[in-house]
Structure 1
Amino acid sequence: MKRCSETSNEIESKVIDLLRKYPLCDSCLGRCFGKLSYGLRNEERGKGLKTSIMLELDFMVKSHKLEELLSLKEIMFNMGHIAEGWFRLYFPKEEFQYRACYICNNEIDDMKKDFLKKAEEILRSGQIGSYVLGVKLSDSIRMLEDDLVVKESLEYYESMKHEIKREVGKVLAERGLVPNMEDPDWEVIYDVSTRSVFKVKTTKKQLNFFNRLSRGVPISSWNSPYPNSLSSEFDKMGKKIFYSVSEQPDVRILTDYPLVTDEIDNIKIDGYYIKKSSQITRRDLSVIAAMKPKKKYKVTVFSTDPEEGWEKVYGDIYDVFIDANSPSEVMEKLKVSKAQILFIDLVAYHGRLSKVADLYMKGE
């Protein structure tokens, strides 16, 4: 029972920390923990989490364990409508602030309804046979999600596009339009930026493994100071990247990391070494994309006061190996040492994704 209590407190602390910083609708908060529990919609999960911390925080106020009420204001505002009555209890003379969701701008429900309507029209027109749904997020939303996951170490996060596809797909299936998840002929795609739906013939997807051997060569060009990126080079070839890791452009990737693309031979892109592996199905892609690896970084530092376990390179330069979710977490862990960070390299990753990669690479 003690372990269950610790886990509950850890989740509640994370929810409170998120809501101190970001206004989040029920769905977007729920997706921050989307891989925990089963059978719940993210909207239900998020509303339940908000209700739970409202009870917990109100208990702390009433039992005089939390005396500074002003510290609750931001949390209340960022919760949205569910906290309005609670806010008026403690701040009856003040106006409640209605804030748009940090991720979806309170638009995710409208997106689902719009996608459902337009997809059903296409499917009932008889233009296509077997199908699967797809969602193209805007660059801004994708960047918001990537930054949030890394910055807040959201190990159990689910992307907005997966929620939209799943919820719309369920309704279509209930109406007799069942998606073919294994071998569809068509993909019906919702473009979040333009609110348009288009259909494309499905293509074979290829699993590759890559290393990034140079610094300053980002995977995505979005919000990057560098002119070239891996994704822009694929665009020039008329090819698409379906899955890649998120890693800061100044971090070399020295371990073999999965990259799912259109079928293509002899991929040669400056700064990268890419090795073709095999074809994979959409289901394989979904499984790979859902896995969040644990990472190991090699950090090269300058320090006149090295700690035990650091590996001497030359003079006052050392290599330090750190398990972390992101380079920012690496820097946080090294703050106490006051070492000067020179370079960061990703050298390994662990967990289910690593085991899947080993299976594919051994099968070559």
Structure 2
Amino acid sequence: MTTQAKPDDRAERSFPKPEFTDAEAGALEFPSSDSRSFNYFTPRRMRATTYEDVTYDVQPDPERYLTQGWIYGFAKGPGGYPLDWTSLRSSDWHRFRDPNGEWEQTIYRNNANVVRQIQQNLADAKLAEAYAAWPPAWVRFVERNLGAWMHAEHGLGMHVFMAAQRSAPTNMINNAIAVNTMHKLRFAQDLALYNLDLSESGIGFDGSVHREVWQEDPVWQSVRRNVELLTTVEDWAEALFATGIVYESLVGELFRSQLVMQIAARNGDYVTPSLVGTGEQDHVRDLSYTRELFLLLVRDEQHGARNREVLGEWLDRWIPVSLRAARDLQPIWSQPQEKAISFTDSLTAARDGLRSLLADLDLTEPKELSQ
């Protein structure tokens, strides 16, 4: 017969005692320990937006949080994102917010909407046999000039904006430039697919001549030179300024808005403006963040005067290049059968747009712009 142990006969049980080492969560006290805002940054408005929550400070910075310097670096250079990758200076690079509020969801959503719109327009054009009504002169204009423009858009996206988006010192700036990159590459792809559609439309469209035009046609060589020179700029802010402010105002808007969008409908083409219009809308959004960034830099309390001086030097360097590119495009204004605007009026509108933009940025208008 088995006997049960009495309660008093059981061995005494022991439990480990907690030892506090100040390594446990919540042990360290810091300036915002008692804060209930759950944010490590100050939102622009009363509450942080989703854009700020998922973008702000994703890229770390030793000046803010990393106490031991950058967590990675280059073999023969400084770590992380050196501030001397641009000649411009800021008392706080983290002040920049993209006015478009672009983050991952908006990038996919907006570009998907654009692609669906273009695909639907092209499908409708095929069903309606819209291209059959194009005058031969307009067919030649589109195959040569819109095809050449595809190279400009792709070159800027792949070799200017893509390079610049790696070099800026904060994730907020890099993110905005990365979206600019995707806009350029998507628009170039849209033009390439459009070129293929027109090649198969039965209107005698030569879908291969664009390469010859871009490489050899004298009308396009100054634009090509402008784009290729922009790809060689090492200063990320100069590349952004020379492209987004100068080139886009004097060459981009001149071709897209002041020419194609003005005369396409008069030549029986209601398809091309719907495509080129998406590129113009991209530019409007991209110009919004570009203007916001340089406005912060020229009005910086500590470095504003110096930044305006540097930007003035960049204007003197790049305005003559883009003005020459714009002027050399003049012959294509006479190629379409129906014309709605003269080259002189188009160039004047482009220059006035740049003048207005420079005035907004508190920059002095260079004398080259009025010559």
Give the TM-score taking structure 1 as reference length: 0.30
Higher helix fraction (1 or 2): 2
Structure with greater strand share of residues: 1
- Name the TM-score, length of structure 2 as normaliser: 0.29
